[in-house]
Amino acid sequence: MTQNLVTKPFMEVLSGNRQASPPMWMMRQAGRYLPEYRATRAQAGSFLDLCFNAELAAEVTLQPIRRFGFDAAIIFSDILVVPYALGRSVRFEVGEGPRLDPLNSPDLVGTLNNAIDLSKLEPVFEALRIVRRELKPETTLIGFCGSPFTVATYMVAGQGTSDQHPARLMAYQHPGAFAKIIDVLVESSIAYLLKQLEAGADVLQIFDTWAGILPPREFEKWCIEPTRRIVEGIRKVKPGTKIIGFPRGAGALLPAFVERTGVDAVSIDWTAEPAFVREKVQTKVAVQGNLDPLLLIAGGSALDQAVDDVLHNFSAGRHIFNLGHGITPDASIAHVEQMIKRVRDYKV
């Protein structure tokens, strides 16, 4: 039987076919809560060394699939490899997170390369090819990038901040300079994601972690419109490509995001109001989410009840079970197993 004839539950949901038991995976499922990940990370050295070692990146991508049997693997990488491939300095300081050379003035924005050097990202594409060969045919492989706005917030400030105000301030004070960063990231993201599809990704996800800090007018300009351009650019070359958006914290702006971007599914965080999502979002696209990651630390009856709530709220429609954001390093493997069993045992 060829791979094309094998049913992928995850892709079935994105194609409009609800599953009796929702397919599932976890954001950041390859991570420090797994001892095998910690061992591989130590072998690699730095975080970026792990991202750019194709064999080791493939290995950590596959680790949660081997352990938990998730319906999807997401390639191990980072959203900031795109600035790196644009010629920016990117490094990860232990205990402090990412550090970049800031683009916090129009003059500095003028130093930004206009085109991405995809050769710098060849290890990501090779890791995708390795994982594609190793995965069972029914398991979906996800490629991804950060949204232009979220990536730009790190590029402007040179690091993460509590509310990413440096990028928001530049967008107000120097909208032309900020738009230049966004435009470069839109085109770079299209090229990067197309290469991920070539290398074996089945579906793409665009992570807009900081979308929720934008007021409505700015949300339209810096979240919706760049995402729409990426979706359009991908499908111009690869018609029918399935794309998931994750505008974290979008709340009441989710329906506009879905309608105007053309995504096939939207991830929702754990603060989303279920009835609103069911009525205004899930009637149009598949929904992915939205368990609070803290419950994988808490465990017990609180975890069982919360899993049941997610399933009750969304499984009558097209639903992919996931967390509302990434799993944390202090999550319990036993609690992940508890969650998986409860989801797998559920039938609509």
The predicted model gives 150-174 an average pLDDT of 94
User: Per residue in 78-136, pLDDT tens?
Assistant: 999 999 999 999 998 777 789 999 999 999 999 999 999 999 999 999 999 999 999 99
Residue 102: what pLDDT?
95
CA dihedral sign of residues 180, 181, 182, 188: positive
334 annotated among ligand-binding-site residues: no
Residue 96: what pLDDT?
77
154 annotated among ligand-binding-site residues: yes
Domains of the chain, first to last: 13-78+126-146+199-345 (3.20.20.210)
User: Per residue in 218-235, pLDDT tens?
Assistant: 999 999 999 999 999 999
132 annotated among ligand-binding-site residues: no
The predicted model gives 210-214 an average pLDDT of 96
Residues 6+ apart with CB under 8 A from 166: 102, 104, 153, 156, 157
The predicted model gives 42-67 an average pLDDT of 96
| Per-residue b or e along 86-125, where b marks 16 or more CB atoms closer than 10 Å to that residue's CB | bebebebeeeeebbbeebbeeeebeebeeebeeeebebbb
Q: Which residue has the tokens 């205990």?
A: 95
Distance from C-alpha of 321 to C-alpha of 311, rounded to nearest angstrom: 8
How much of the chain exceeds pLDDT 90, in percent? 93
Query: CA end-to-end span of the chain, whole Å?
Result: 29
Mind telling me the catalytic residues? 28, 32, 41, 78, 154
Q: How far is CA 6 from CA 1, 134, 320, in A?
A: 7, 15, 19
Residue at 339: amino acid letter? M
**Tokens at residue 296, please?**
């994988």
**Cα torsion through 194, 132, 135, 142, rounded to 10:** -10
Whether residue 5 has pLDDT greater than 80: no
Whether residue 250 has pLDDT greater than 50: yes
Q: Is the peptide bond before 290 cis (omega within 30 degrees of 0)?
A: yes
2 annotated among ligand-binding-site residues: no
The helix/strand/coil state of 33 is coil
pTM for this model (two decimals): 0.96
Residue 159: what pLDDT?
87
Residue 348: what pLDDT?
72
Residue 147: what pLDDT?
98
The answer to whether residues 83 and 150 touch, using CB atoms and an 8 Å cutoff, is: no
Whether residue 1 has pLDDT greater than 80: no
Residue 4: what pLDDT?
53
328 annotated among ligand-binding-site residues: no
66 annotated among ligand-binding-site residues: no
260 annotated among ligand-binding-site residues: no
Residue 93: what pLDDT?
77
335 annotated among ligand-binding-site residues: no
Residue 2: what pLDDT?
44
Residue 160: what pLDDT?
82
Q: Nearest Cα to 202, choosing from 3, 59, 54?
A: 3
Distance from C-alpha of 158 to C-alpha of 48, rounded to nearest angstrom: 16
200 annotated among ligand-binding-site residues: no
Q: What's the helix, strand, coil split of the chain in %, to 5?
A: 55, 15, 35
How much of the chain exceeds pLDDT 70, in percent? 99
Distance from C-alpha of 137 to C-alpha of 309, rounded to nearest angstrom: 31
Residues 6+ apart with CB under 8 A from 162: none
User: Per residue in 15-30, pLDDT tens?
Assistant: 999 999 999 999 999 9
Distance from C-alpha of 322 to C-alpha of 287, rounded to nearest angstrom: 10
Distance from C-alpha of 55 to C-alpha of 111, rounded to nearest angstrom: 34
Helix (H) or strand (E) run with residue 206 in it:
strand 203-208
**Tokens at residue 33, please?**
């809560």
Distance from C-alpha of 73 to C-alpha of 84, rounded to nearest angstrom: 24
